[in-house]
Chains A and B, each alone.
Chain A
């Protein structure tokens, strides 16, 4: 089974609107971390946000927030007030405490339309 599933290969959003990128995960660990990364067309990888499995509050970093629903094993990324510079690939990842393994999803390509 896939550890990380991102079901949206491509998404479009109007500038200034909010957008949600979906991510579901599969683990039997009690302790794990969830990450989102952004990869613009230039190729660099940028860490966006982190959520620990024991964190009670949803993580937020500026315009990024992580909608963490533990029972549903989902960790969706919400980008508010989209900007043209948000156009990029977005990867969801999980780190299991058991073995410290990292797993990545296949990514979602986000295009912000002016």
Chain B
């Protein structure tokens, strides 16, 4: 158990819908990262937050948005969902001053029908 929690574990929804994925980092970790893993695109970095502020942005679509709240949990919002958004979405956290070490959550498996 990495100490990073993600909810829900599985999500099935329809095209055009909006979903919110939630991530709680390990206690004390200030950085949160979001990744997408799909059969088509492989593993992709989406976005990173550090202590509530956006730190880096990767291949995140405009239909997607994220934020990190004062209690350090993070949410990834996916809207106008398309079939191609079906993927495993990982969240990871890292301790302050040790950004080279990432602890991954179990992932949220999203299926868009």
A interface residues, Cβ below 8 angstroms from B: 33, 35, 43-47, 50, 52, 91, 93, 99-104, 106-107
Q: Is B79 an interface residue (CB 8 A)?
A: no
- Enumerate B1-60 residues with CB–CB distance to A below 8 Å: 2, 33, 35, 42-45, 48, 55-56, 58
Q: A33 and B100 in contact (CB under 8 A), knowing A43-B107, A44-B107?
A: yes
Interface residues on chain B, size class: 20 to 34
Looking at chain B's contact residues, is the secondary structure mostly helix, strand, loop, or mixed? strand
Q: Which of A33, A47, A106 contacts B104 (CB 8 A)?
A: A47
- The 0/1 profile, CB within 8 Å of A marked 1, for residues 94-113 of chain B is 00000011111011000000
Is B107 a contact partner of A47 (Cβ separation < 8 A)? no
A104 to B42, CA, bound (A): 8
Q: Is B72 an interface residue (CB 8 A)?
A: no
Query: Which residues from chain B contact A93 at a C-beta distance below 8 Å?
Result: 43
Q: Which of B45, B58, B101, B107 contacts A50 (CB 8 A)?
A: B101
Is A99 a contact partner of B42 (Cβ separation < 8 A)? no
Q: Which residue, of B102, B106, B107, has the highest number of chain A Cβ atoms within 10 A? A: B102
